[in-house]
Structure formats: C-alpha cells, structure tokens
Amino acid sequence: MTVSFDELMAHASEIKFLAIKRALDEHETEPEYARQGVDGYYEQVVEPLFKPFSRVPDPAGYQPMIDDLSAAMHDLSGGHIDQDPIDKNPYLANPTLEKIHTAGDYLQDWSGQAAMQFKQKFLDPFPAISANQFILTAILKAALEAHQAMWAKTRDDIDKIAHATMDAFDNKCCDKNTWNVSFTVLSSIGATAAAVLTVATDGVAAPLLLQVIGAAAQVGATLPPDSLSDPPKGGGESALQIVNSMKAAIDQLTQVVQKAEAVITKHITGITKLLGEHGSYFVSARPALASVPDDKITGGSGLGDSN
C-alpha cells in the first residue's frame, strides 16, 4: 500500500482509529489512559504529531524560482563558462554580452581620467564579473534545489512512518524489532567545493573557492552518514507501544529536517558573508564620475575629451 502525502491527515485519523480499536479490543490498561481514557488519549496524541508535516512546503512551489534563476543564468552566460558549474547542464552564450567588445571599440578615441577608469574598472573586468554572477546564480539555484529535495524527502519519510504504523496495527503478530524506517532527508542534499570565482586586478587573478549546497542528484555528492538517519526500531504489540514507536520516529524525523535546514542555512549565510566581503567580485566599481562636481564634469578629471 502506497501512502499519499495529500492524504496524510486521513491516514493519521486512521492510525488513531486503529490505536483506539486495538487498545479497547485487547482491554489494555495503561497509566496514560487514566486521565482522558483511551479515546481521549489518542485524540490528543496521534493527529497533532502529523499536523506540522501536513503543512510543509510543496516542493513544486520551488520550481518557478528555480526556473527564474536558470533564465538569469542564460542571460549571464557569456561563453567563458558554457555549463552550470554544479549540475553541468549546458548554457549557450548570450550574444548580447559580446557587445561589450564593440563598446570598447567605440571608446578608443575617448581620453582622460574617466575614460581610463571606465576601461580599467568596467570594460576589462566585465568578463570576470559576469562569469562570477553566473556562478553565484548557479549556487543560489542549487540551494533552492536542495530545499526542494529536502521537502520532497520529508514528505516521503513522514508517509513511510504512517505506512509502517498502519502495517504494525494490521500485523498483530509483529514484535518491536520488525518495524524500521530509514530516513532519506539528509541523503537528498549534498555539499561540494565545486565553484571557483576569479577577479582580475592589475592582471592578477585571485581565485576564491566556494562551498556549494544542492540536491544530491545535482552536486553528485551526499552529506556524510549521520546516526539521525537511522531511526529507532518500531512496532510492538500493544497500541501504546506502536504509537510510542511512531512518535519516536516522528521526533527523530523532525531532528533530521532541522539538521538539513541548518546545513542549508549555514551555506547560504556563508554566501551572504562572501558577498559582503568580496562585493567587487560581482559588481563593477562605482564610477568616479558619480562624485565629480557639475562644474568639473568636463575636462581631464571628468569626462575627458573625444579626439
């Protein structure tokens, strides 16, 4: 039987029904039932455990943002990098970016300080800056794909827990060692040092290696094995044993998701820090003309002359 995520809360209701039925049929007496009775206890326990997972983001909701970043990469592809540095998908060069060379030809007769600064600080580093913007966009796209994969596997894993719990109730003979659910959330994302940024300064290229987080299928790597991905054994014979095993698995899945979120957040925070420390890798220097007084906008210290 395949459990549909869209029916998760219906399955939670079914688990509650099965737990109550098992407890009543077997005349189970547990201290937990003393205050609210069997019905009241499972009413308070089962469905609230699944409710937060019924509200996790839809992985499909990430696709429009991923597609937008992919489109931006097409716009930023100048031919210096012909593929995504992470998933290796090809990107054809955008001919519009090649017009920067024509602009340089037009400015051959422009002289003066502004002309020199424009050539040195904008025209010359333009290929490196546009390439770095392309790489940065690829990294951000990969991070969204990591989040998308994380939520897809979260849905799969909570479904597996619901499935295993119902199977435990259906198979009355099973003992506490026959039910085991492995988690796939952490294995759905991976990290790799796959992107190198360069900046041209006085003819010297300064490389900067970036750690990339993405969906494991895209980055070709997975996070190191983690004990959180090995949930406790489940099952049992009584309703309370089965539900407690289910609760332990859900609690552990929650920790797995939180760890995956922390890994992704750490990488995004690192990118944000890098942008603050190395803004010149991604944005051309502010033109000196922006600070020149109006009465000096022409002449050698301003726009200069056109010969």
pLDDT band at 1 (very low <50, low <70, confident <90, very high): very low
The H-or-E segment that residue 110 falls in is: strand 110-111
239, part of any domain = yes
Q: Identify the CA nearest to 47 among candidates 23, 18, 4.
A: 18
116, part of any domain = no
181, part of any domain = yes
* Spatial distance between the Cα atoms of 264 and 273, rounded to a whole number of angstroms: 14
For residue 59, report the phi and psi dihedrals to the nearest 5 degrees.
Answer: -55, -30
132, part of any domain = yes
Q: Which residue has the higher pLDDT, 206 or 51?
A: 51
117, part of any domain = no
Domain that holds residue 55: 5-106+126-283
Q: For the residues 276-290, what does the mean pLDDT come to?
A: 77
119, part of any domain = no
24, part of any domain = yes
Residue 202 clears pLDDT 50, i.e. is over it: no
Tens digit of each residue's pLDDT (9 = 90 or more) over 34-53? 999 999 999 999 999 999 99
Tens digit of each residue's pLDDT (9 = 90 or more) over 59-92? 999 999 999 999 999 999 987 777 887 778 888 8
| Gyration radius of the chain over CA positions | 29
60, part of any domain = yes
Sequence-separated (6 or more) residues with CB below 8 Å from residue 189: 146, 149, 150, 213, 214, 215, 216, 222, 223, 260, 263, 264
Q: What percent of the chain has pLDDT above 90?
A: 31
Domain count, the chain: 1
